[in-house]
Amino acid sequence: MKTSDEVRSFTVEADDDGIRVDRWFKRHLPQVGFGTVSKWARTGQVRVDGKRVKPDDRLAQGQQIRVPPGGDAPHKKDKPKRELSKAEIEQAEAMVIHQTKGALVLNKPPGLATQGGTNTFNHVDGLLDAFAPGEEDVRPRLVHRLDKDTSGVLLVARTPGSAAFFSKRFSGRSAKKIYWALVMGVPDIKEGVIEAPLAKQPGSGGEKMHVDHEGGQSAKTKYRVVDSAGKKAAWLELQPMTGRTHQLRVHCAAMGHPIVGDGKYGGKDAFLTGAVSRKMHLHARRLIIDSPDGGKLDVTAELPEHFAGSMEHLGFEESASDATPMRDDPPPKSREEKKQQARQHAKNFRKSQRSPRRSRGAAGKPGPKPKPKGKR
């Protein structure tokens, strides 16, 4: 690439088709500030196919961008790539379960943070340099995250364009994420929706969430019981319809069935005795999302060792669930519920055919009590 002391020329790639001029600079020349881009556009120094442009004009694939000399802001330059050890590179590569031109899909192990923080130095984001070894290689970027102790599917964008594409799908809720969880006890209603607004718990420094019906943000989770081990534990499919921090963990605890191993939200009641691991049992099993290359990206992640061992100990067969996204309409009625509904319909029909004289004596009797809805 030419230095900033010379006029530079760039070709708009397919990944940048439709992007705004100012956004293009932010992606490819982040050292050039917005104020400088605006000044260059106003004075005609930056041109596209020889014509003047505005910062909010859209670019098209194949166009030529003329960039004048200068404009560098040293304090805005990208951070240098970190030199990774051989073990770190192997750790990063071992997580890859699927890749396309625009995406890397990882199976994140439990105990590995997605991003860095206080006293957190080993994390997925820090390992992404393994996939961009050269100085000119584009560094992949995270587009969503998983809790440190949650395992499973984690999507990483390989280009700026695919990052914007995937981020829009996550924020628009069109991405389908299905989790597997082992919980304490067995929910009475086998399939349903948990709707409970969430907020940061006061005094926790933002590290813990709680249900707050007054000031919380709306949060919605679909769930389905796949199997149960007597009354002590159940295997659930969970599908978050919103993306709040710790949403699945708080919602499970709120309905009285904390996730096995989640002492943060279930306390001492979140642990099973015997051969079941004390690690958290929450796994992002499947992700279905539109692909920028066309079609769908549909990926499933294998269980970590501790989760698979607990499943076997409790007698659960993985084949009992294919992690299918849950229906938007109410769950279908069971055969017994359908029979009961048919009997009630026939009874009501016979009653409507009775003569007024025969029905007069029953006028004061109460009708049948309504049955609770839901799949039990």
Cβ atoms 320, 234 nearer than 8 A: no
Coil, helix or strand at residue 1: coil
Q: Which amino acid is at 313?
A: H
Give the Å distances, CA to CA, from 277 to 153, 271, 287, 311: 21, 8, 25, 10
Cβ atoms 318, 311 nearer than 8 A: yes
Rounded CA separation 187/32 (Å): 56
Please give the full DSSP string across 44-102, using - where no structure is assigned: T-SEETTEE--TTPBP-TT-EEEE-S--B-GGGSPPPPPPPPHHHHHHHHHHEEEE-SS
- Please name the residue that has the structure tokens 């019906």: 213
Nearest alpha-carbon partner for 158 in 137, 145, 141: 141
Rounded CA separation 152/180 (Å): 10
Q: Pairing mode, if any, of strands 151-157 and 282-290?
A: parallel
Cβ atoms 169, 132 nearer than 8 A: no
Please give the full DSSP string across 352-367, using - where no structure is assigned: HTS-HHHHGGGTTS--
- Please name the residue that has the structure tokens 């004075």: 43
- Phi, psi at 168, each rounded to 5°: -65, -35
Give the Å distances, CA to CA, from 354 to 348, 350, 351: 10, 7, 5
Which residues are catalytic, by number?
147
The CB-side HSE value for 85 (13 A sphere, CA atoms) comes to 4
Nearest alpha-carbon partner for 243 in 286, 293, 204, 198: 198
